[in-house]
Amino acid sequence: MTRHKKTRQVLARLARIEGHVRAVKRMVERGRSCAEVLLQMAAVRAALDRAAKVLLADHMEHCLHDLAGDARARRHLAGLRQAMQRFIR
C-alpha cells in the first residue's frame, strides 16, 4: 500500500468520525429528539466531506502530480486543486 503524506491525518479524522457515529447511534437508542440526531448526522456528513477533501487533495498531489511532467500539466493540476477547494467546502 502506498502511503500518502496525509494518511495519518485521514486516519485520525476517520477515527473521530467513527466515535461520533457511535455517539449518534447511542442518541437514537436513548430516544433523543430527531432534531438533535439530525444535527449530529449533518455534522458527521460534514466531517466525512472534509476527510474526503483531504484524501482527494493528497491523491492529486501524490499520484497525479507525478504524472504531470510539464509545466502546463502542473498548472492545470493546480487549477483543478483550486476548483476542488471551492467546490467541496
| Domains, the chain, with CATH or none | 7-87 (1.20.58.1000)
Cβ(17)–Cβ(51) below 8 Å: yes
Q: What is the pLDDT of residue 37?
A: 98
Residue 58, all three cell numbers: 493528497
pLDDT bucket at 82, cuts 50 / 70 / 90: confident
User: What whole-number percentage of the chain has pLDDT above 90?
Assistant: 48
Q: Please give the Cα distance from 4 to 80 (Å, whole number).
A: 19
Q: What is the mean pLDDT of residues 37-65?
A: 87
Report the alpha-carbon angle 26-27-31, nearest 5: 115
What does the pLDDT read at residue 18?
Answer: 98
Q: Give the mean pLDDT of 8-37.
A: 97
Which range, of 7-11, 21-25, 41-45, 75-79, averages the lowest pLDDT? 75-79
Contact 58, 5 (CB under 8 A): yes
pTM for this predicted structure: 0.73
DSSP 70: S
